[in-house]
């Protein structure tokens, strides 16, 4: 799978992750809407898991796919933190200031991941602050590892291309 099919597959997984995030019920009430939302999230989630398993199988055959797996992993972690933050806010609105929607939670998580911290949405309660600290520590380790992996991958691809160009066009001697 090369070119557009590879990126379409990756985009499909990322969209499935976001779809589960926006569809999964947060309320503990068992009513018709929550059952439908839960079932829909389960179906989309199964599709996403199938996509991730397929991605992992492709990764075993093609080391170029490490970047794809890294993108999926970072996105899945961000969406998971967003869901936990949103759920925490729904159960105890004093934990976060100005978090009203799932999009607010995703925005807050992205700002925290990027170390931007605009301050409009922020952790107000002790439990929320503790969870944000967990996210920050996770980001330092995970994003640091991701940057190291990407840097290594770029360096090896660059070296391989330089060696190939040198082999195809030897210097006159």
Question: Residue 103 sits in a domain of what CATH number?
Answer: 1.10.287.70
Q: How many domains does the chain have?
A: 1
Residue 172 placed within a domain: no
Question: Which tokens belong to 150?
Answer: 């990407």
Q: Is residue 171 part of a domain?
A: no
* Mean pLDDT in residue range 6-20: 86
Give the pTM: 0.76
* 173 part of a folded domain: no
Bridge partners, residue 122, by sequence: 97
Average pLDDT, integer, range 144-170: 81
Taking each helix axis from N to C terminus, what angle separates 102-113 and 126-168, rounded to the nearest 10 degrees? Answer: 60
* Domain span including residue 97: 4-166
Predicted local distance difference test score (pLDDT) of residue 96? 97
Question: Could you tell me if residue 130 is inside a domain?
Answer: yes
Least Cα distance to 142 among 90, 86, 72 occurs for 72
């Amino acid at each position: 799978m090369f070119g557009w099919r590879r990126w379409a597959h990756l985009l499909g997984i990322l969209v499935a992750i976001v779809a589960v995030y926006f569809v999964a019920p947060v309320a503990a009430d068992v009513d018709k809407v929550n059952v439908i939302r839960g079932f829909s999230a389960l179906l989309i989630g199964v599709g996403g898991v199938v996509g991730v398993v397929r991605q992992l199988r492709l990764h075993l055959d093609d080391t170029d796919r490490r970047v794809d797996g890294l993108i999926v992993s970072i996105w899945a972690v961000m969406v998971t933190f967003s869901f936990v933050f949103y759920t925490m806010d729904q159960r105890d609105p004093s934990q976060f200031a100005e978090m009203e929607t799932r999009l607010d939670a995703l925005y807050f998580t992205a700002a925290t991941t990027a170390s931007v911290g605009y301050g409009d949405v922020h952790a107000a309660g002790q439990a929320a602050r503790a969870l944000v600290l967990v996210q920050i520590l996770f980001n330092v380790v995970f994003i640091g590892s991701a940057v190291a992996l990407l840097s290594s991958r770029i360096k090896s691809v660059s070296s391989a291309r330089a060696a190939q160009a040198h082999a195809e066009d030897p210097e006159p001697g």
